[in-house]
Amino acid sequence: MAIDEENVLGENNLEYEELLDGVVNVVRENKELVGDIHREVFPPPKVQRGGMNKTVLVNFVDICETMHREPEHVMNFLLTEMGTIGSLNGQQRLAVKGRFVPSNFEGILRRYINEHVICNGCRSPETILSKEKTLFFLKCQQCGAESSVAPIKSGFVAPTGPRNAAT
């Protein structure tokens, strides 16, 4: 079976490069054909010492706003993973008991983003975290996928402070 060159290249007998240029121009004019290639860049944690045995995450609220997550949920995850206690101070900074370096926060925030922010289907950060009864669900705004998210489980935390005498 012979291939009719006129049917393949069209009636105008356009060259391959001209056809390719035409397709590229159509894609450039219609960005919705390609989809959004933009990747969300999360700010790195800015950490300061807050006394002898305290670490402060200065841009905690900014990180939460970039992820579109409630600060309380992110704080619970961080404190649970670090095995420590902490709170938001008056300047909306996360004060954590213990000495930590930025890489500690970075690794835990990266794990939080992979588990509670990024869509498993299309890898988009445009997701919504919702709670139904006792379960959390991650719903993607891009592809519409919905999946359950593992709850934040606290492990063993060593008691700190003065010890009571055994009676």
The tens digit of pLDDT for each residue in 48-91 reads: 888 889 999 999 999 989 888 899 999 999 999 988 999 888 88
Which segments of the chain belong to CATH 3.30.70.3150? 44-117
As a whole number of angstroms, the distance between CA 69 and CA 87 comes to 17
Beta bridge partners of 130: 137
pTM equals 0.66
Contact indicator for 145, 125 with CB cutoff of 8 Å: no
Token digits for 62?
A: 């900014």
Q: For residue range 9-28, what is the model confidence (pLDDT) as tens digits? A: 455 556 888 888 888 888 77
Q: Is 128 helix (H, G, I), strand (E, B) or coil?
A: strand
Would you mind telling me the total number of residues written for the chain in this entry?
167
CATH no., domain 44-117: 3.30.70.3150
- In the block, tokens 């420590």 appear at 84
